[in-house]
């Protein structure tokens, strides 16, 4: 039976440019299974209408776990003395990029902890080398950097940048990121967008001190900034961090947050991310793909280093080939398909189309 109130909230949220926070809170707080199923079905229909049935692939290479920060939730934080640190060489990274290209993937995500020692010119050369040798999109995810560095790497050929805000609540942000600046995080986000990166943001669901209202604010921020990509993932406690004793983020709430994000932001690329897979395995990946997600990220970090990129525990080792064939199976079960295109931002295309029409 169709719930009249739920249906009218969903239509209102879908139709409005700036949805009411109370409507978002209502959707995020849904508990009754039939209503939650209705929310997911609505999000899935929005996904189908705005990004289609293709599941895009991004190959991720976690090239260093050095970090200067002290994010309370993250195992890479500099105070975690239990972690052996590594940094891949240029050659090692290029080997993995080559492998990813052989697998037919057209986006590489270069991710690391936030290193002071990351030489911007070394990174610039690496990006140049990748983009000159291979016909693929390059996504960077190396944290808060200066505007000049962002510009340098953009000129070298990088196309996209992932920098999750984690939470848009300044006080909550401050409580989780000692010594870091929320304003600087925003500055970085805005710089990336101004420079012309396809920019990704996102949050963690289940953080200490977070509420439904905070999550609704996160989603309003995603809408306001019209991000090209948004990653919503559950909090997974890491025992070598200050939040190691906290409970796991709730998978249901994470999926509702993802579904509402899809409905509000329409054609954004939304990954079924590693945190979801770590928390809930294959079922989690499937659930996310049915609650708004349209991207998956097979891991191409060399096997020897995989365990050392321990942001949180539970990341299962699986070769990229296995991962792709698993996603292929899932896609066919869902009557969807793997999309081997670059999968650039759809927002970008929309803007480019308008610009062309105006010229």
Stretch that binds ligand SAH, among 32-40, 209-217, 231-239, 330-338 (CB under 6 A): 231-239
Q: What residues pair up with 199 in beta bridges, in sequence order?
A: 161
CA atoms within 13 A on the CB side of 312: 24
Residue among 46 and 287 whose Cβ is closer to ligand SAH: 287
Query: Would you count residue 204 as binding ligand SAH (CB under 6 A)?
Result: yes
Stretch that binds ligand SAH, among 181-189, 230-238, 290-298, 335-343 (CB under 6 A): 230-238
Residue among 231 and 265 whose Cβ is closer to ligand SAH: 231
Residue among 52 and 244 whose Cβ is closer to ligand SAH: 244
User: What do you get for the CA distance between the two ends of the chain, in Å?
Assistant: 50
Q: Please pick, from the candidates 65, 107, 238, 272, the single residue that binds ligand SAH as defined by CB under 6 A.
A: 238
Q: Please pick, from the candidates 61, 236, 287, 297, the single residue that binds ligand SAH as defined by CB under 6 A.
A: 236
Place of tokens 């290193």: 115
Q: What residues pair up with 62 in beta bridges, in sequence order?
A: 111
Q: Please pick, from the candidates 235, 276, 280, 343, the single residue that binds ligand SAH as defined by CB under 6 A.
A: 235
Number of residues that bind ligand SAH (CB under 6 A): 18
Stretch that binds ligand SAH, among 8-16, 185-193, 234-242, 323-331 (CB under 6 A): 234-242
**Binding mask 132-151 vs ligand SAH (x if CB under 6 A, - otherwise)?**
---------x-x--------
Query: Would you count residue 73 as binding ligand SAH (CB under 6 A)?
Result: yes
Query: Would you count residue 233 as binding ligand SAH (CB under 6 A)?
Result: yes
Q: Please pick, from the candidates 23, 44, 166, 339, the single residue that binds ligand SAH as defined by CB under 6 A.
A: 166
DSSP 200: E
Q: Please pick, from the candidates 100, 300, 312, 338, the single residue that binds ligand SAH as defined by CB under 6 A.
A: 312
Residue among 119 and 333 whose Cβ is closer to ligand SAH: 119
Three-state SS for 150-186 is HHHHHHCCCCEEECCCECCCHHHHHHHCCCCCHHHHH
Footprint on residues 263-292 left by ligand SAH (CB under 6 A): 275
Residue among 70 and 92 whose Cβ is closer to ligand SAH: 70
- CA angle 46/52/54 to nearest 5° reads 135
Return phi, psi of residue 128, to 5°.
-60, -40
Q: Which of 334, 290, 295, 289 is nearest to 56 (CA)?
A: 295
Structure-token pair, residue 179:
């010594």
Residue among 19 and 113 whose Cβ is closer to ligand SAH: 113
CA atoms within 13 A on the CB side of 88: 27
To ligand SAH, the closest distance from the beta carbon of 195 in angstroms equals: 16
Task: Provide the 10 A C-beta neighbour count for residue 146.
Answer: 12
| CA 262/CA 149 separation, integer angstroms | 31
Q: Please pick, from the candidates 55, 64, 83, 113, the single residue that binds ligand SAH as defined by CB under 6 A.
A: 113
Task: Provide the 10 A C-beta neighbour count for residue 86.
Answer: 17
Stretch that binds ligand SAH, among 53-61, 209-217, 233-241, 320-328 (CB under 6 A): 233-241
Query: Would you count residue 344 as binding ligand SAH (CB under 6 A)?
Result: no
Query: Would you count residue 114 as binding ligand SAH (CB under 6 A)?
Result: yes
| CA 247/CA 256 separation, integer angstroms | 18
Return phi, psi of residue 307, to 5°.
-65, -20
Measured over the CA atoms of residue 112, residue 116, residue 120 and residue 122, the dihedral's sign is negative
- CA angle 282/168/289 to nearest 5° reads 20
- What residues line the site for ligand SAH (CB under 6 A)? 73-74, 111, 113-114, 141, 143, 163-164, 166, 204, 233, 235-236, 238, 275, 311-312
């Amino acid at each position: 039976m169709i719930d009249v109130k739920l249906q009218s909230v969903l239509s209102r949220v879908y139709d409005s440019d700036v949805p009411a926070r109370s409507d978002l809170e209502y959707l995020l707080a849904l508990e009754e299974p039939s209503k939650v199923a209705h929310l997911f079905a609505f999000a899935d229909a929005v996904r189908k209408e705005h990004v289609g049935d293709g599941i895009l692939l991004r190959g991720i290479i976690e090239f260093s776990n050095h970090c200067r920060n002290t994010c309370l939730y993250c195992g890479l934080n500099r105070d975690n003395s239990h972690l052996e640190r590594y940094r891949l060489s240029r050659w090692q990274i290029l080997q993995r990029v080559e492998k990813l290209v052989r697998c037919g993937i057209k986006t590489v995500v270069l991710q690391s902890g936030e290193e002071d020692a990351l030489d911007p010119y070394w990174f610039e050369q690496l990006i140049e080398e990748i983009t000159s040798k291979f016909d693929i999109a390059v996504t960077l995810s190396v944290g808060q950097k200066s505007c000049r560095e962002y510009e340098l790497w953009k000129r070298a050929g990088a196309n996209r940048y992932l920098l999750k805000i984690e939470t848009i609540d300044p006080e909550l942000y401050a409580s989780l990121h000692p010594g870091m600046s929320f304003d600087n995080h925003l500055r970085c986000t805005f710089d990336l967008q101004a420079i012309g990166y396809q920019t990704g943001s996102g949050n963690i669901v289940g953080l200490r001190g977070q509420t439904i209202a905070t999550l609704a604010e996160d989603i309003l921020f995603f809408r306001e900034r019209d991000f090209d990509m948004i990653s919503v993932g559950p909090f997974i406690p890491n025992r070598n961090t200050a939040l190691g004793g906290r409970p796991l983020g709730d998978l249901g709430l994470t999926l509702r947050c993802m579904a509402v994000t899809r409905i509000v932001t329409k054609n954004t690329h939304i990954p079924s991310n590693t945190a979801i897979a770590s928390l809930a395995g294959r079922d989690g990946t499937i659930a996310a793909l049915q609650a708004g997600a349209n991207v998956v990220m097979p891991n191409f970090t060399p096997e020897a280093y995989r365990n050392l990129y321990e942001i949180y525990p539970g990341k299962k080792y699986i070769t990229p080939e296995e991962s792709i064939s698993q996603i292929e199976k899932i896609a066919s079960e869902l009557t969807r398909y793997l999309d081997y295109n670059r999968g650039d931002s759809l927002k970008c295309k929309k803007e480019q189309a308008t610009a062309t029409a105006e010229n």
